[in-house]
């Protein structure tokens, strides 16, 4: 039996004969009060939720109870609501479906639930799109249906925006790829699949980035660079599904959560093979043009030197044809001068093209200086 120190025996005796502080005949009232307070707390909790909660009598379909959110959404008082059939609060366009559910509510297995998308109609006629979950419950001996309606206005808007974004991604002519931080493909659009020679995007899911580059280490380097610097623009050699390499430009960024933690990486890929080949052709053409112009300048000098000799001899002889010779020599000089002017202009054109084209600034300046010097020399 329980041990009490001897000096507490007086107190123990008082308690045994029922005079202790907490000695009370069995009463459920304190516990009842405690449970009622618990229920009130629970009620307050239900009233705080954004979901509209309806308790509906299964036999009549009339509302038995509602939480505060129902009143806030629909603008009715609780007294008004507790007279209404639940289906009267559903948009007429979807009411038939609910009437069907309520007709068969007696047969609904307990704890089973069904979910519907249907608008609720507020007192002012406004329709609020809701996701409504109905469930059959037994409270005591009574059968009820609990309907929990969640406002999905924002969700529908968000879904619409998401669909637009998805459509934009899918219809982009650039290849778009989203991969997790290990480089595994999470999403690729149709253009990406087409650029890399895959029939559909489904085949790409789960592949690693390294599969899309001629140098397999590029994928890992791109991911590492993105995690360090968050963005990347780079030209590199891609690898098609059939193993053929091609030129690509990748622009990448890291997708982060609200806390700034990286979630995945996104790459936009362009096939730049045509541009690269065009630039290569331009470079070769300019090189040939430069050579021709230089040859042209040398040819002028080569003509003027013997012409100078002819002019010298013609001036020294006393002959009626001397003047004819000098006249023809001047014509030849004029022609060479015209040719000089022509190659200088050619050099300027090349300069212009290079300025617009390959961006090799130092070469352009050298050619410009060369052309000016030759013109002044004349």
Partner 1 sequence: MIPRNQLDLRKFVAPEFVCGHGALRLAGRYARNFGMRHVLLVTDPGVRAAGWAGAVGESLAEAGVSFTVFDSVSVNPRSREVMAGKETYLAEECNGIVAVGGGSPMDCAKGIGIASSNMRDIRVFEGVDRVPVPAPPLICIPTTAGSSADVSQFAIITDEERKRKIGIISKALVPDISLLDPEPLTSMPRDLTVDTGIDALCHAIEAYVSNASSPMTDMHALEAIRLIVRALPAAVEEPDDLNLRFSTLLASLHAGLAFSNASVGAVHAMSHSIGGVYDVAHGRCNALLLEHVMAANYEAASDRYDRIGAIMGPGRETPAEKVAAFRKALGVTGTLAAAGVRGDAIPALAEAAYNDPCMVTNPRNLTREEIERIYKHAL
Q: Is 142 an interacting residue with respect to partner 1 (CB under 8 A)?
A: no
| φ, ψ for residue 215, nearest 5 deg | -100, 110
8 or 59, CB closer to partner 1? 8
Q: Is 111 an interacting residue with respect to partner 1 (CB under 8 A)?
A: no
Say what angle helices 361-377 and 273-316 make with each other, to 10 degrees.
10
Least distance in angstroms from the C-beta of 142 to partner 1: 14
CB atoms within 10 A of CB 247: 16
Tell me how far apart the alpha carbons of residues 241 and 140 are, in angstroms, rounded to a whole number: 67
10 or 320, CB closer to partner 1? 10
CA dihedral (294, 299, 300, 305) in degrees, to 10, reads: 130
Q: Is 4 an interacting residue with respect to partner 1 (CB under 8 A)?
A: yes
Q: Is 24 an interacting residue with respect to partner 1 (CB under 8 A)?
A: yes
Of the candidate spans 5-13, 100-108, 147-155, 335-343, the one that interacts with partner 1 by CB under 8 A turns out to be: 5-13
Binding partner 1 (rule: CB under 8 A), the pick from 18, 109, 243, 320 is 18
CA triplet 59, 65, 67: central angle to 5 degrees?
145
Q: Is 3 an interacting residue with respect to partner 1 (CB under 8 A)?
A: yes
CB neighbour list of residue 115: distance below 8 Å, 6 or more residues apart: 131, 132, 133, 134
Q: Is 16 an interacting residue with respect to partner 1 (CB under 8 A)?
A: yes
Q: Is 20 an interacting residue with respect to partner 1 (CB under 8 A)?
A: yes
Element containing residue 185 per DSSP (H, E): strand 185-188
Q: Is 237 an interacting residue with respect to partner 1 (CB under 8 A)?
A: no
Q: Is 50 an interacting residue with respect to partner 1 (CB under 8 A)?
A: no
Least distance in angstroms from the C-beta of 231 to partner 1: 59
Q: Is 2 an interacting residue with respect to partner 1 (CB under 8 A)?
A: yes
Q: What is the DSSP letter of 272?
A: -
Look up residue 58 and give its two tokens.
């299964």
Of the candidate spans 4-12, 56-64, 177-185, 233-241, the one that interacts with partner 1 by CB under 8 A turns out to be: 4-12
Q: Is 9 an interacting residue with respect to partner 1 (CB under 8 A)?
A: yes
Least distance in angstroms from the C-beta of 145 to partner 1: 23
CA triplet 147, 153, 157: central angle to 5 degrees?
145
23 or 114, CB closer to partner 1? 23
Look up residue 127 and give its two tokens.
């329709």
Q: Is 22 an interacting residue with respect to partner 1 (CB under 8 A)?
A: yes
Of the candidate spans 23-31, 224-232, 233-241, 370-378, the one that interacts with partner 1 by CB under 8 A turns out to be: 23-31
Tell me how far apart the alpha carbons of residues 327 and 315 are, in angstroms, rounded to a whole number: 11
Number of residues that bind partner 1 (CB under 8 A): 22
Binding partner 1 (rule: CB under 8 A), the pick from 7, 27, 217, 305 is 27
CB atoms within 10 A of CB 302: 11
Q: Is 25 an interacting residue with respect to partner 1 (CB under 8 A)?
A: yes
Give me the DSSP letters along 310-343. Answer: HHHHHHHS--HHHHHHHHHHHHHHHHHHHHHHHH
Q: Is 138 an interacting residue with respect to partner 1 (CB under 8 A)?
A: no
Q: How far is CA 321 from the centre of its chain?
A: 86
Q: Nearest CA to 135 among 116, 110, 152?
A: 110
Of the candidate spans 1-9, 112-120, 261-269, 351-359, the one that interacts with partner 1 by CB under 8 A turns out to be: 1-9
25 or 261, CB closer to partner 1? 25
Least distance in angstroms from the C-beta of 34 to partner 1: 9
Q: Is 79 an interacting residue with respect to partner 1 (CB under 8 A)?
A: no
Residue 352 CB burial class (10 angstroms; 0-12, 13-18, ≥19): exposed
Tell me how far apart the alpha carbons of residues 196 and 2 are, in angstroms, rounded to a whole number: 84
First to last CA, the chain: 131
Least distance in angstroms from the C-beta of 15 to partner 1: 4
Interacting residues with partner 1 (CB under 8 A)? 1-4, 9, 12-13, 15-28, 31
């Amino acid at each position: 039996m329980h041990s009490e120190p001897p000096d507490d025996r007086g107190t123990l005796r008082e308690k045994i004969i029922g005079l202790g502080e907490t000695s009370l005949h069995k009463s459920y009232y304190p516990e009842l009060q405690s449970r009622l307070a618990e229920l009130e707390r629970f009620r307050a909790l239900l009233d705080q939720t954004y979901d509209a909660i309806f308790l509906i009598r299964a036999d009549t379909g009339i509302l038995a109870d509602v939480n505060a959110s129902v009143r806030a959404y629909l603008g009715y008082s609780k007294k008004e609501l507790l007279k209404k059939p639940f289906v009267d609060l559903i948009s007429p366009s979807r009411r038939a479906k609910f009437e069907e559910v309520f007709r068969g509510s007696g047969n609904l297995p307990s704890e089973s639930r069904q979910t519907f998308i249907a608008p609720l109609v507020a007192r002012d006629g406004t329709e609020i799109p809701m996701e409504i979950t109905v469930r059959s419950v037994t409270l005591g001996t009574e059968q009820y249906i609990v309907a929990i309606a969640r406002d999905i206005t924002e969700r529908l808007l968000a879904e619409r925006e998401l669909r637009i974004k998805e459509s934009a991604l899918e219809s982009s002519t650039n290849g778009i790829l989203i991969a997790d931080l290990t480089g595994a493909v999470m999403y690729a659009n149709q253009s990406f699949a087409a650029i890399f020679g895959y029939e559909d995007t489904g085949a790409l899911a789960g592949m690693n980035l390294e599969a899309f580059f001629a140098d397999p280490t590029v994928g890992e380097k791109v991911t590492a660079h993105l995690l360090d610097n968050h963005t990347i623009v780079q030209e590199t050699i891609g690898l098609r599904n059939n193993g053929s390499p091609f030129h690509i430009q990748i622009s990448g960024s890291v997708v982060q959560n609200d806390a700034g933690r990286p979630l995945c990486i996104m790459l936009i890929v362009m096939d730049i093979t045509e541009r690269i080949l065009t630039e290569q052709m331009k470079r070769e053409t300019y090189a040939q043009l430069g050579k021709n112009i230089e040859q042209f300048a040398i040819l002028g000098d080569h003509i003027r030197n013997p012409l100078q000799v002819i002019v010298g001899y013609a001036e020294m002889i006393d002959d009626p044809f001397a003047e004819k010779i000098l006249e023809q020599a001047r014509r030849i000089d004029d022609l060479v001068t015209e040719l000089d002017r022509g190659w200088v202009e050619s050099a300027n054109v090349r300069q212009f093209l290079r300025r617009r084209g390959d961006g090799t600034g130092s070469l352009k300046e050298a050619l410009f200086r060369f052309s000016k010097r030759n013109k002044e020399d004349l």
